[in-house]
Structure 1
C-alpha cells in the first residue's frame, strides 16, 4: 500500500525563540495563524490526513498556567538560551494579548477538522541531544504532555532523535515518532554540529536529487521499541530569490510521490506552519500543486493519505494477522 504521510511541527514562537527575536520573525508567527485555517481547508478539499505535532506550551490558557507546568520540570541546558524559561519575560497574559506563545484556539480548529491527528512536539520544545539535559528531564517533559491528552505520535524538536529515550517514550504512551532520512546530511545532530556544509547540501537536495527519494515500504518500518516513521522530505518555504527554481522543487517532490505510488511505498512530507507565515499565497499554491498530484496518484495507483497514527494502526493489524497465521501455520511468512 502506497501513501503520503504528512506531519506538521506546530510551535509558534516556541520553536524559534532561541534563534530569532519577535522583531525578526514575528511576522512569520502571525502569518502562521492566518495560514493554518487555509492549510486545513486544503486538507479537507483533497481529503488529506495529517499529524499536527503540537508544542504543549501552546495549550496553556494563560501565563499562570504555563508557569505552573514549569514548576514541575527541569530544563537545564548548558546553553541557557535554549530554555523557554529564558523567554518568559516576553510572554503575555494569554492568547488574546499574546498570539505568539498561546494557541488553544488554533488547536481546537485542528481538532474539529476531520482526519487530523493531534500529536506532540514535547511540552517545552525539548532538545534531546543538547548538553545539560538527560533522560529524567525528558521524562518530566513528557509527563506534562501526557497530562494534556493524547501522545500517540511524537516529533522530536529540531529532529533531535535520541535512541536512548525511545523506551521511555513507550512507557509514557508514545506509539510512533518521525525519524530522520537515512543519509549523513539529515542525521540527528546538536545545534553545534549543524554545519554550513550540511545546510548547503540540504538546500541543494530540495531542488536536485542528491540524497534519494527516501520512500520506504511499510514492512520495512522499524517497530521497536516504538514505530519509526521516517521523514522523506521537508517542504521548504517559497524563496523569492530562488523563484526561478520552483518547478525543480515541485518536480523533486512529485517524483518522490510517484515512485511511492508505483512501488506501494510511503512518502513522509513535513513542515512548520510558520514556514507559510510569509509568502503565504505562494506557499499555499505550491502545497495545492502537491495535493493535486496526490489526488491524481490516488485515482491511478490507489495511493492513500495517512497520518502517523494511521500508520501505527495499519502495522498493528498486520502484526496481529502475522501472529494469528503464525500460530496455525508457523512456517508461513506473510508480506
Structure 2
C-alpha cells in the first residue's frame, strides 16, 4: 500500500476554548474561522486533498432550542466546574445568525455537501476524558448525543478526535460500541502525552516543530492494526502551528520540517497525519493559507512521484481493514 496523507481538523469554534478564553479575548480568530474554512475547502478542491473535520456536536445545531433537544440526560460530572460547557448554554445567543461562535450548522452542511471530505466527532460537548469526576458512562452518553445530532443532518459518525488529545485507552471500547472505527492517537514520544503539560515538554514540542528532535512521526501502514476494542489508531504526525509574528524567522524551518517528513512517508509507504484547528488560521489568514498552499503543492509532487495518497480517517481505515482481511 502506498504512503498516505491524512489531515484532520478539530472544528470547535468557541467550544474548544470556552474554559480558557471568552469570545472577546479571541474574537478575531473566531470571526475569521468561517472564511478560513472556505479557503481551506477551495484549496483542498484545487489539489484534490481530502479532509476529516472532527466536529463538536454542539455546532451541528442552528438554534438553542434545537441544541437542547439533543443534550443527554447524563452529563459529565467534572470535579472542576470550569470544564463544564453546559453551564454557559443559557448565556449564548439564540441561533447561528445571532451567535456564529457557538452554532455552525451552515458550515457543517457545506462540508458535508462535498463527499470528498468526512465529518467525524470531536465529542458532543468537547468532552475531557482525563478530567477528574467524569466516567465512561457519561462519555458514552456524550457520544450517543454526538451521533444523534449528526444523524439529524443525515451524517454518520465513524471517526473521533479526542478534545485536547486526551485519549483514554479504556474509552476506545465505548467508541467502538458507538460505531466509531478510528481515532487520532498521539505521537509516540513522551512530550506528546497529554498529562505531560510541564514547561519542559511544551518547550520541546515547540522546538520539535522547527527542527528534527524526535524523528519524522510517520508510521508504517503495515503496522496500523486494530486495537482489541476495534478502533484503529491513526496517530498524529504534526500539529500545523499557525503563523506567528514572534517566530516568523523560523517559518521556513517549520515548513521544511513538515515537507521532509511528508517526503519520508511517501518514499517509505508510511502515514503522515497533519492536524490543526480552523480557528488557528483566523489571525494572519493569508499567511496561513499560503503555508497550506505550499504543503499541498508538495503533496501533489509526492503524489506524482511516489503515489502518495490523500485519505480521510475513515477511508484509510476502510482500506487498512480490507487489506488486513485479505492477508488473513
- TM > 0.5: yes
- Structure 2: how far apart are the matches of 1:18 and 1:222? 35
2:17 aligns with 16
TM-score normalised by length of structure 2? 0.95
- Structure 2: how far apart are the matches of 1:61 and 1:22? 18
**Does the alignment pair 1:315 with 2:320?**
yes
Q: CA deviation at 1:65?
A: 2.1
TM-score normalised by length of structure 1? 0.93
Answer yes or no: is the 8 Å Cα contact 1:7–1:270 preserved in 2: yes
5+ residue gaps, structure 2, are none
Q: CA deviation at 1:15?
A: 0.3
Answer yes or no: is the 8 Å Cα contact 1:12–1:100 preserved in 2: yes
Aligned to 1:186, which of 164, 179, 192? 192
2:101 aligns with 100
**Does the alignment pair 1:204 with 2:207?**
yes
- Structure 1: how far apart are the matches of 2:82 and 2:197? 17
Q: Secondary structure at the match of 1:73?
A: coil
Q: CA deviation at 1:91?
A: 0.8
- Structure 1: how far apart are the matches of 2:56 and 2:50? 20
- Structure 2: how far apart are the matches of 1:5 and 1:207? 20
Answer yes or no: is the 8 Å Cα contact 1:128–1:138 preserved in 2: yes
1:173 aligns with 179
Q: Which contiguous aligned blocks of 4+ residues in structure 1 show a shift greater than 6 angstroms? A: none
Aligned to 1:151, which of 154, 157, 165? 157
1:283 aligns with 288
Q: Secondary structure at the match of 1:241?
A: coil
- Structure 1: how far apart are the matches of 2:268 and 2:194? 28
1:64 aligns with 65
CA RMSD of aligned residues (A): 1.1
1:117 aligns with 118
- Structure 2: how far apart are the matches of 1:275 and 1:114? 24
Q: CA deviation at 1:71?
A: 4.9
Answer yes or no: is the 8 Å Cα contact 1:250–1:286 preserved in 2: yes
Aligned length: 320
Answer yes or no: is the 8 Å Cα contact 1:40–1:113 preserved in 2: no
- Structure 2: how far apart are the matches of 1:31 and 1:294? 26
Q: CA deviation at 1:34?
A: 1.1
5+ residue gaps, structure 1, are 324-335
1:332 aligns with none
**Does the alignment pair 1:164 with 2:165?**
no
Q: Secondary structure at the match of 1:240?
A: coil
Q: CA deviation at 1:90?
A: 3.3
Q: Which moved more, 1:84-93 or 1:281-290?
A: 84-93
Q: Secondary structure at the match of 1:88?
A: helix
**Does the alignment pair 1:222 with 2:228?**
no
Q: CA deviation at 1:89?
A: 4.0
- Structure 1: how far apart are the matches of 2:200 and 2:286? 31
**Does the alignment pair 1:263 with 2:268?**
yes
**Does the alignment pair 1:33 with 2:38?**
no
Answer yes or no: is the 8 Å Cα contact 2:218–2:272 preserved in 1: yes
- Structure 1: how far apart are the matches of 2:3 and 2:324? 18
